[in-house]
Amino acid sequence: MVRARAGLRRPGIARSAAPATWYVLDEDLRVRWTSAAYDEQAGEVERELRKALGDSSPLLLEHAYHRADGSPSGRTYGLSAHRLDGLDDLGADFRGLIVAVQDVTERDRTRRREAAPAEVRAAVGRSLDVTVTCRQLAQALVPGFADIAVVDIVDDVLRGEEPRPAPLRHDVPLRCAAARGPDTTPPRPEGDVRSTPHRTPQARSLSDLLPRLADLGDAAEWLSADPAQALMIETTGARSLLTVPLTLQGAVLGLVSLYRLHGSEPYDERDVTVATDLAAHAALSLDNARRYERDHTIASAVQRRLLPHRVPSPPALETAHVHVPGSNSGCWFDAIALPGARTALVVGSVAGHGIETAATMGQLRMAINALAVLDLDPDELLARLDDTVTRLATERTEFPAADAAHHKPLTADCLYGVYDPFTRTCTLARAGNLSPLVIRPDDHTFLPDLPDGPALGAGEPVPFAATTVPLDEGSVLAFRTGAFGPEDADPSDPVRRAVVHPGRPLRDLCDAAVYALPADRDPDGAVLLLARTGTLPTDHAAAVELPHDPTSPAQARTFTREHLAAWHVDETTSYATELIVSELLTNAVRYGTPPVLLRLISTDTLTCEIHDTGAAAPHLRHARTVDEGGRGLFIVSQLAARWGTRYTPTGKILWTEQPLTARDVAW
């Protein structure tokens, strides 16, 4: 129980000597006793004091004092209150509060000044994005150390280029990377590019790399040189400015401009010391982000050089693609023309980022192109590609131990499919979690039931398996990586809904898929390859079954001559084709088994195919002068641009390709 004399002032306690001013309040919050005269506005803390009357626990709070006109005074007071229950000196029942009020302005300023570097170290440096790092800096400074913070970065630094050495010319453009104020409206638009007039504190800081203090009330002599800043100061009511350059080893990254408004204590030399320390930490974080951005820019440039500049639209298949660059520089796509008017569709992604990942992606893409020429089945091609990845991973272990790639695992996902316009089927195999999406002409979508395959380089003893999917003419195949997933059957996925319009142009569908990406989701490098299926026109192909006897070469030559004449192929090409067909048929009759089929395909090339059910593959050999045979395939190899053998479930196909002139394909 505390006894206090109501209405009397205790003598002998001077205001200057007391650490706090004491009050005794009754239950109506009227002052019954005080240790010193004080003009605190009780109405501003009345709600808290009334709560203390009904609670036995002490009340502790800090309160910013306002003037009578409602404007901030710049002073902060600490207030503690304890409930009183008992008798006054006259013996009457008394219930009220004993309150201590202390000016804690300097303590609060010191605390905020000391907290600013810790807040900057905790918030800044967690991102390798220059812009994000600047935003983290501004958020860490406002409202604790500044009422307004503007972070300007040299425009070249944002692109990852080397910072310029000081002194920085006043006409070098600075981009506002972050701006934060007391309300939601930024004091300066982010992305705004300005040069710094030389008669301003900012320009002086960038010249000699020293911070500057400015009292904005007496700054008319330099504000006239920067009308944009003068307008911001007038609009916000700023009264004090502290500019600190962001430098590292004498090179200039940017500048931080800190403002305090009317009602806040203006900056002083103690604040300059704090701001210089936190700017040094911010500059180091920004340089780390800049170096990462530079490496990412180089990796992206390497990736662009290694990706196909134009995906061909082969016969009976329309293609389009979109590549969204991101931190992952290992995603790729391809459409590879195969014999027989078929097309291989490929997407893949190497795990990781940086130049090493982009280079590995290029190696795998070239390996797939080389393997595709061998006309391997998709599952066998992925098995060979897995061997390549394993070999590349082994080579990494031989790098110097200091090389970052020495301990970095090498894995990749890949989806490979071959579309055949004659059967309207696509044979698919995958390594990893990539899945194609099929959109039928009636807008129905489905994910083919593909067997799971291990990621390339995973070292799992699981074989790859292929699946053949029948497709309606006009269906759209969507091969995708990264953010263009997810790889599940969720029909509500916005990217999936965006491409379910198979009648629209494929380029429009690619754009729609990009627009559908969530704004808050980093694509992190993604690829979408679309292919609309079709069939060859009937007048672009011709086939005939031939007898398995010595008369078939002559019949084949006649069949070839008639159709090439109808297709307006020049006589030189027609004669060479007759020789090719004759030699291939002779080989099939001698070493193959019936039935024997000849097929001619005219697109931008002239393809000749001989189908038989034999398993033995012919091979090219160089006949000696005295040999009577063995020159057939040698003649074929000289007349055709390409030739080879493709195995099927029922036998094999010998094929050749010859280029056609523009006049030949104009029919």
Give the model confidence (pLDDT) of 124-173 as tens digits.
888 888 899 999 999 999 988 999 999 999 988 888 888 888 888 777 88
Mean predicted confidence (pLDDT) in 424-437: 93
- Give the range with max mean pLDDT: 32-36, 94-98, 642-646, 661-665: 642-646
Rounded CA gap, 98 and 107, in Å?
Answer: 23
609-623 confidence digits (pLDDT tens) = 999 888 776 666 554
3-state secondary structure of 305: helix
Least confident of 130-144, 328-342, 404-418, 653-667: 653-667
| Cβ-Cβ contacts under 8 Å for 361 (sequence gap 6 or more) | 303, 306, 329, 330, 331, 332, 348, 350, 412
Mean predicted confidence (pLDDT) in 431-446: 91
Is the model's pLDDT at 595 over the cut of 60? yes
| Cβ-Cβ contacts under 8 Å for 349 (sequence gap 6 or more) | 328, 330, 331, 332, 412, 413, 414, 432, 434, 481, 482, 525, 527
**pLDDT grade, residue 110 (50/70/90)?**
confident
Ramachandran sector of residue 243 (left: φ over 0; alpha: ψ -120 to 50; beta: rest):
beta
Is the model's pLDDT at 25 over the cut of 70? yes
Sign of the dihedral through C-alpha 171, 196, 131, 249: positive
Q: What are phi and psi of 66, to 5 degrees?
A: -115, 150
Ramachandran sector of residue 474 (left: φ over 0; alpha: ψ -120 to 50; beta: rest):
left
Longest distance between any two alpha carbons in the chain, whole Å: 142
Helix H or strand E segment including 75: strand 72-87
What pLDDT shows up at residue 472?
Answer: 92
What pLDDT shows up at residue 6?
Answer: 36
The conformation of residue 27, written as its DSSP 8-state character, comes to T
Burial of 174 (0-12, 13-18, 19+ CB in 10 A): buried
Is the model's pLDDT at 628 over the cut of 50? no
What pLDDT shows up at residue 355?
Answer: 86
**pLDDT grade, residue 503 (50/70/90)?**
confident
**pLDDT grade, residue 511 (50/70/90)?**
very high
Mean predicted confidence (pLDDT) in 179-203: 86
Degrees, nearest 5: CA angle 16-20-24: 120
The residues facing 532 across adjacent strands are 318, 476
Is the model's pLDDT at 310 over the cut of 50? yes
| Cβ-Cβ contacts under 8 Å for 536 (sequence gap 6 or more) | 315, 316, 341, 421, 422, 601, 603
Provide the residue type at 212 as one letter: R
Rounded CA gap, 377 and 392, in Å?
Answer: 23
3-state secondary structure of 115: helix
What pLDDT shows up at residue 7?
Answer: 36
Q: How many CB atoms lie within 10 A of CB 549?
A: 11
Provide the residue type at 551 as one letter: T
Q: Could you give all domains of the chain from N- to C-terminal order, each with its CATH number?
A: 21-103 (3.30.450.20), 109-297 (3.30.450.40), 307-533 (3.60.40.10), 538-666 (3.30.565.10)
What pLDDT shows up at residue 281?
Answer: 92
Is the model's pLDDT at 51 over the cut of 50? yes
What pLDDT shows up at residue 88?
Answer: 61
* Alpha-carbon distances of 2 from 24, 59, 82, rounded to whole Å: 11, 17, 10
Q: Tell how strand 605-612 and strand 651-659 pair up.
A: antiparallel
Is the model's pLDDT at 8 over the cut of 50? no
Q: Do 319 and 531 form a contact (C-beta atoms < 8 A)? A: yes
Q: Do 486 and 517 form a contact (C-beta atoms < 8 A)? A: no
364-417 confidence digits (pLDDT tens) = 999 999 999 888 999 999 999 999 999 998 888 777 776 666 567 899 999 999
Q: Which residue from 95, 101, 100 is spatially nearest to 2, judged by alpha carbons?
A: 95
Is the model's pLDDT at 353 over the cut of 90? no
- Give the range with max mean pLDDT: 18-32, 150-164, 465-479: 465-479
Structure tokens at 455: 């990621």
What pLDDT shows up at residue 12?
Answer: 34
Q: Do 50 and 28 form a contact (C-beta atoms < 8 A)? A: no
Q: What are phi and psi of 586, to 5 degrees?
A: -60, -40
What pLDDT shows up at residue 374?
Answer: 87
What pLDDT shows up at residue 5?
Answer: 37
Q: What is the value of pTM for the model shown?
A: 0.71
What pLDDT shows up at residue 39?
Answer: 52
Least confident of 11-15, 284-288, 573-577, 648-652: 11-15
Q: Do 131 and 158 form a contact (C-beta atoms < 8 A)? A: yes
DSSP code string of 402-452? TSTTSS----EEEEEEEEETTTTEEEEEEEBS---EEE-TTS-EE---PPP
- Give the range with max mean pLDDT: 23-27, 373-377, 473-477: 473-477
* Alpha-carbon distances of 299 from 324, 361, 362, 367, 406, rounded to whole Å: 14, 11, 12, 20, 18
3-state secondary structure of 169: coil
| Cβ-Cβ contacts under 8 Å for 418 (sequence gap 6 or more) | 338, 342, 343, 344, 345, 378, 426, 427
What pLDDT shows up at residue 601?
Answer: 93
**Tokens 């590995």 sit on residue:** 360
What pLDDT shows up at residue 240?
Answer: 92
Structure tokens at 553: 């070469």
Contacts 24+ apart (CB under 8 A), 585-588: 585/546, 585/552, 585/553, 585/556, 585/610, 586/553, 586/632, 587/618, 587/632, 587/633, 587/654, 588/552, 588/612, 588/614, 588/654
Mean predicted confidence (pLDDT) in 413-436: 94
Sheet hosting strand 21-26, strand order edge to edge: 31-34, 21-26, 93-103, 72-87, 59-66
Rounded CA gap, 325 and 635, in Å?
Answer: 48
What pLDDT shows up at residue 155?
Answer: 87
Degrees, nearest 5: CA angle 253-258-263: 180
Q: Do 175 and 189 form a contact (C-beta atoms < 8 A)? A: no
